[in-house]
Amino acid sequence: MAKRKNKTDTKSAVKSEETASAEKTDEGISKENENEELKKLQEELAAQKDQFIRTLAEYDNFRKRTEKEKLMTYDNAVAATVEAFLPVVDNFALALASDADVSDEFRKGLEMIQKQFDMAFEKLNVVTFGERGEEFDPELHNAIARTHDEELPEDHITMVYQKGFKIGDKIIRHAVVQISE
């Protein structure tokens, strides 16, 4: 019987070793699976984080673009309105510059109306440009003639036929000028 017991013990020991070995192998596979799963989850998290950051950046760009478009729409509307009033402003400037024999009260009334236009343009951020002595800039000025002027250097405005107007960077009307040679 002792022999039988040893054989049984040996068989049990071998089975225990096989089971332990299998468990170790299963444990190794389980750890590998866990590591692979962990890597997959980390990659998914990184992909989700990247997508979130991209979406946030797209939204921020959309918000900025929309805000810029709103400002441009406002500037365009103001420019169109001001452009409609420019012939009236020009006529007031011509009336004030004329040498016609008019009463002081009439001239004073014209000056007051001109000041009101200037104040309204100031409130709307409309800037005038094109004064005698300014340097000629083809982006802002439309030169229709050249003349010799000893007081001014070359390519400076000698005479203004029509003032220019702009709002921000948007040109409403180019100044029509004469420049020096």
Burial 89-108 (b: 16+ CB within 10 A, else e): beebbebeeeeeeeeeeeee
- What integer pLDDT is reported at residue 10 of this predicted model? 56
Q: Tell whether the model's pLDDT for residue 99 goes beyond 80.
A: no
Does residue 23 lie in a domain region? no
Does residue 150 lie in a domain region? yes
Q: pLDDT tens digit string along 118-152?
A: 999 999 999 999 888 888 988 889 899 898 888 88
pLDDT band (50, 70, 90) for residue 52: very high
The count of domains in the chain is 1
Average pLDDT, integer, range 41-67 = 93
Does residue 113 lie in a domain region? no
Does residue 100 lie in a domain region? no
Q: pLDDT tens digit string along 153-163?
A: 888 898 999 89
Does residue 42 lie in a domain region? no
Please report, for the domain that includes residue 179, its CATH number: 2.30.22.10
Does residue 78 lie in a domain region? no
Does residue 87 lie in a domain region? no
- State which residues form the domain around 173: 126-181
| Percent over 90 (pLDDT), the chain | 31
58 vs 148: which has the higher pLDDT: 58
Please tell me the pTM assigned to this model: 0.60
